[in-house]
Structure 1
Amino acid sequence: MTMKCNPSSLKPVRKFLHSQVPKPISRHEYRRKTDENSLALYDELFKFNQLITRQPLPAITHFCKVLTSIVNMNYYSLVISLIQRLDTLPLESDIYSTNITINCYCRLNRVDLGLSVFGNALKRGYRPDCVTFNTLINGLCVTGGFNYARQVFDEMLGCGVNPNGVTYGVLINGLCKMGEIDHAVVLLNEITEEFELSGSSSVVMYSTVINALCKNGDVDRALSLFNEMIVKGVTPNVVTYICLMQGLCRFGLREHALRLLDDMLCSNVTLDLQTFNVLLTALCKRGWMVESRNFLDFMVERGLIPDTVTYNTMINGNCLVRRLDDARHLFNVMSCGCDVITFNVLINGYCKENKIHEALRLFNEMCRHNINPNVVTYTTVIRGLCLVSRLNEALVIFYKMQDCGEMANVVTYSILIDCLCKHERVNNALSLFKLMDDAGVAPDVYTFTIVIDGLCKVGNVEAANELFDELCCRELEPNVCTYTAMIGGLCRNKRLSEAEELFVRMKESGCEPNVHTYTIMINGYCRNGKLNEANELFVKMEESGCFADGCVYNTIIQGCLLQNEISTAVWYLDKLSENGFELDSYTEALLLRFQSCGQLDYSVKKAV
């Protein structure tokens, strides 16, 4: 083999790998220098060291066994380095060592180098086997080169190598990952009709396609394929059931999901605790707590002991359906011990229901359980306090978090900055925004948008504009909320031409305005007496597929009335009524004022 690469290797073995004359190293010395997690690796390196010092050198198969063990530990670059070391020795390689090399390159996403090794092997007269082709096909599929994988598959057939279940499974998996699910179904049907594959290969392929269909939202076809595999005598395994069950639960198909669960339990599919927790999670995410509880009781009867993950899942499910008493009861009866996730889930449940006293009590209880709050815990409590406008307490928790050595993340900062802006403490929000940058926490688009909106609402449009430009300089894309906040600030400060420019720029950047953006622009035109522009923008909004809501209608009706455009106001008033929207209090007050002055005709009076 003649391969050129510069793979990284582990520091403890670098000296050994580059030594010209390897010296035997004591196993005890390896063990002394490494921790327990590295013992298996160093045992294999010790064996490798012994092999290369033997005279005469053993056959390549002995080295392949050691290299395979290291590959199974995921040290692919190291294996390539070891094979390069073997290339300097008078040792004849074979197809097995070639397969190991190709596999390592493919695992490192260097399929190009794997193909180069493959070409060299053909030149040397090695006959590639099914493993060789499967490795290359899989590597190409993983890196998105499915068309090239098909070419390698054709080459495989041309070499007279018969594909096996693994080959077809890899091709089907590649098609599914590319989103070519229809082609995957066609290929699956062709394979099952033309070839007799082992049961394990068939069930893997069916499970792969069923999973892809479910993720694509085509649950009906997934169910049909599931029934088809049973008719063809392919017995579903636990993975098949999990894929389909998750799909059914995700789309709320309750009856189908429960029927499938019954079928699975009746078919005596072996469920370990991890698999059980996956299925329980699917049920709990939909809030089907009665069924989740029955499933839990059934599994306990079969001798399965719930663990912390099981209880966390059930507690979270109860919180989702606002059954906090049931969630708290489960927390109290946990026999396996709670963890930080347990506290986070329950604290979050209390905060969402504005039960901040219970959330804080539980937060303080963590110390009694010798569990340290993490960033999620602190952030959840801070959010809960902000939701009930207890900003100062939220800031106390924030500083306590820092004192405890827990680093706040972008979500934590954004929540506090948002709350400060809502309480018109924009200067404090700006200070925290700068502190965030100094702490090495990069603000995201959401954080920028909060500060820009806060500055605009207090009339500091210049500072908001500077932040908007900084956002773009950081290669962050403003979203519809960012543009809307900035446009709103410009309109409120009578800088309509700049707002128009930004509105155009927004559309040119591919960010489509929403109904709130249009409302702000229409309001800006109305306030500046530009009713024609307001009417034109209203028409463009509807033509773009963004339909007006009650707020838009009220805004433009108010503008028309204030500009004494009564007939236009009446037209919009009729539209508002036709679409089932209602007048807001200000529009109604304006209409009543015009009515009292005798400026409205009978039809408008009737509408009012």
Structure 2
Amino acid sequence: MLRMRPLPPISQFNKVLGSILKMGHYATALSLIQNKLQQFQVQVNICTFCIAINCYCYLNRVDFGLSLLGTLFKRSYTPDVTTFTTLINGLILQDKTPQAVELFKKLMRTREIEPDVVMYGTIVNGLCRTGNTIRAVSLLRIMEEGSCKPNTVVYSMIIDSLCKDRMVDDALKLFSTMDEKGIFPHVVTYTSLIHGLCNFGWWKEATRMFREMLDSGIAPDVHMYSVLLDGCTKEEKMKEAEGVLEGMIQRNMDPNVVTYNALMDGYCLQGQMDEAIRVFNTMVDRGLRSNVFSYNILINGYCKKMKIDEAMHLFRELPRRGLKPDNGTFSAMLWGLFQTGRCGAAQKLFNDMQTASIIPDSQTYGILLDGLCKNGHISEALSLFRTMENNSLHPNVVMYNILIDAFCKDKKLDIARALFNNLSSKGLQPDVKTYYDDIRFL
């Protein structure tokens, strides 16, 4: 294009730059704007600036984007709603939602621009991402009363956030409001609600809503089926779960790894390891590549059945499959080894974990402390506990309970009492288990 004479209009360059942006080649787009367009003296416009701002935002350099905003003003350009929405989204992407909200409020106060539904939706997304669902609902009410009405996307984001906050009743009420206002839900809306209902164990309501969605002519996607299948397995309805999988295949929809993992997990939870392995093999036969979560599910299942050798076989298979074990993998294996009294192997595995630069989380440390104590190694458990404290890792009340219980059983009440008295100085509140152990001091 730059060799053409006369040069194409900037609108043509912007189309190319926009395509490069959509492909995720942000640095390339910026290089073309900053070097090539300037070199050939192509006059950029506000759309070009907006593309550049977008690139900076996706590169986590919203500060450069804000600098470009200043350049816009100096060139007497008037930034439009899209420009400001881009900056707001950039701030949110960099976990700077409070600053994004402040910018939005300033725009509302000064009335520099009239926010559109995309800008409102961007702020709603930021609030929901940071757990400020109630504030997002308040903003929704402002939209409902104003001239810029919320659309399906805005309602769906808030419904999803309410469900994640376990406020499913409120999500259902908001869903009813959509119907009253003539705003039609889409598959994402239904997926969020069905997921929320399944998490509460409201299986009948979830299936009713699924049928309602089908009757409305909305086709379920793979994610929806995975959510529904996961709900079946949590309710131990494995026959229904297999039916969901069959329904997917009948609709010419390819189940993904998440779908098969959910089905495997259901069988593992019921101790049906042969069925879980069958599902795993089916997944591989269909050309899908298993991930570390697939292995974690099976390893955990075998450990719960005390089949540690089978679990260890899968654990050793991970590197051969190009997969790296994570905290979940090590935690499952450590639990299984301690449960079968293989303390030496467990401690070696923990050392291997640290050598692999995998930082243990609180669950892993809890398993270690519990395993050491139950196998009579309470001095080693206390030493590990002290190491955690010295490394600025903060033990929780569950870990204190494990040690207090172990020292009570070992008749070392002075150490148990010292641990109990230490809780308040660490800002921890004793729970029922702690107080039960406290009674044993008397």
- Which range, TM-score by smaller chain? 0.7 to 0.9
Quote how far apart the aligned CAs of 1:437 are: 2.8
Distance in 2 separating the partners of 1:489 and 1:293: 44
Aligned to 2:34: 84
Q: Which moved more, 1:287-296 or 1:494-503?
A: 287-296
Alpha-carbon spacing, 1:89–1:283, altered in 2? closer, same or farther (3 Å): same
Aligned to 2:222: 274
Distance in 2 separating the partners of 1:137 and 1:291: 44
Quote how far apart the aligned CAs of 1:150 are: 2.3
Distance in 2 separating the partners of 1:459 and 1:109: 51
Alpha-carbon spacing, 1:147–1:450, altered in 2? closer, same or farther (3 Å): closer
Q: Secondary structure at the match of 1:163?
A: coil
Quote how far apart the aligned CAs of 1:463 are: 3.2
Kindly indicate whether the alpha-carbon contact (under 8 Å) linking 1:242 and 1:279 is maintained by their aligned counterparts in 2: yes
Kindly indicate whether the alpha-carbon contact (under 8 Å) linking 1:210 and 1:222 is maintained by their aligned counterparts in 2: yes
Distance in 2 separating the partners of 1:428 and 1:298: 44
| Aligned match for 2:55, one of 98, 104, 118 | 104
Aligned to 2:423: 506
Quote how far apart the aligned CAs of 1:126 are: 0.9
Q: TM-score, normalised by structure 1?
A: 0.60
Task: Kindly provide the CA deviation profile for residues 39-75 of structure 1, in whole angstroms up to 9, marking residues without a partner as x.
Answer: xxxxxxxxxxx51x55665543333222111111122
- What amino acid sits opposite 1:265 in the alignment? L
Aligned to 1:95: 46
- RMSD of aligned Cα (Å): 4.1
Q: Secondary structure at the match of 2:151?
A: helix
1:14-413 matches, cutoff 5 A? 50-51=1-2, 53=3, 58-85=8-35, 86-87=37-38, 90-142=41-93, 143-144=96-97, 145-154=99-108, 157-158=111-112, 161-195=113-147, 202-254=151-203, 256-269=205-218, 271=219, 273-274=221-222, 277-278=225-226, 280-281=228-229, 283-284=231-232, 287=235, 304-309=251-256, 313=259, 341=260, 345-346=263-264, 351-355=268-272, 375-376=292-293, 379-391=296-308, 394-395=311-312, 398=315, 407-413=324-330
The percent identity for this pair of structures is 37
Distance in 2 separating the partners of 1:154 and 1:275: 37
Q: Which moved more, 1:360-369 or 1:279-288?
A: 360-369
Task: Kindly provide the CA deviation profile for residues 522-557 of structure 1, in whole angstroms up to 9, marking residues without a partner as x.
Answer: 43x3xxxxxxxx3xxxxxxxxxxxxxxxxxxxxxxx
Q: TM-score, normalised by structure 2?
A: 0.79
Q: Secondary structure at the match of 2:60?
A: coil
Quote how far apart the aligned CAs of 1:125 are: 0.7
Unpaired runs of at least 5, structure 2: none
Kindly indicate whether the alpha-carbon contact (under 8 Å) linking 2:101 and 2:123 is maintained by their aligned counterparts in 1: no
Kindly indicate whether the alpha-carbon contact (under 8 Å) linking 1:248 and 1:257 is maintained by their aligned counterparts in 2: yes
Whichever of the two has the greater Rg, that structure is 1
Distance in 2 separating the partners of 1:259 and 1:362: 27
- Count of aligned positions: 437
Unpaired runs of at least 5, structure 1: 1-49, 314-340, 526-533, 535-608
Alpha-carbon spacing, 1:243–1:512, altered in 2? closer, same or farther (3 Å): same
Distance in 2 separating the partners of 1:395 and 1:279: 30
1:564-575 matches, cutoff 5 A? none
Q: Secondary structure at the match of 2:111?
A: helix
Task: Kindly provide the CA deviation profile for residues 159-217 of structure 1, in whole angstroms up to 9, marking residues without a partner as x.
Answer: xx4433223323333444454444444443443444265xxx62222223333333333
Quote how far apart the aligned CAs of 1:82 are: 2.7
Larger RCO (alpha carbons 8 Å, 6+ apart): 2
Alpha-carbon spacing, 1:155–1:124, altered in 2? closer, same or farther (3 Å): farther
Aligned to 2:403: 486
- What amino acid sits opposite 2:156 in the alignment? S
Alpha-carbon spacing, 1:63–1:467, altered in 2? closer, same or farther (3 Å): same
Aligned to 1:5: none
Distance in 1 separating the partners of 2:322 and 2:136: 51
Quote how far apart the aligned CAs of 1:422 are: 3.7
